[in-house]
Amino acid sequence: MQTTILDILEDLTASDEVRNNLDLNLFETGLLDSMATVQLLLELQSQCGIEVPVSEFDRSAWDTPNKIIKQVERLS
């Protein structure tokens, strides 16, 4: 699961930094924006089979690779 998520993130951000530092803030660093977040959610849906309730999507709970992994584990 973790590998899949990091693969998705690496593709979206075009940066391998997401693997090296799992506590990297993806929004503050400009690696993710709203459009990329939409892509992320669609990829998580198709590759990990999880539905993220977007109306509950609080950016601060999804802003590092570690937090995203935790969220996906919680939702799967």
Among 1, 2, 11, 73, binds other proteins (CB under 8 A): 11
42's CB contacts (< 8 A; 6+ apart) are: none
Query: Among residue numbers 25 through 64, which ones bind other proteins (CB under 8 A)?
Result: 27, 33-39, 41-43, 46, 54-60
Instruction: Give the integer Cα–Cα distance in Å for 64 and 2.
Output: 13
Residue 5 beta carbon to other proteins: minimum distance, rounded to whole angstroms: 13
17's CB contacts (< 8 A; 6+ apart) are: 24, 31
CB of 23 or CB of 51, closer to other proteins: 51
Among 3, 14, 20, 23, binds other proteins (CB under 8 A): 14
Q: Cα dist. 36→8, 15, 31, 41, 45 in Å? A: 11, 13, 9, 9, 14
Q: Which residues bind other proteins (CB under 8 A)?
A: 7-8, 11-12, 14, 27, 33-39, 41-43, 46, 54-60
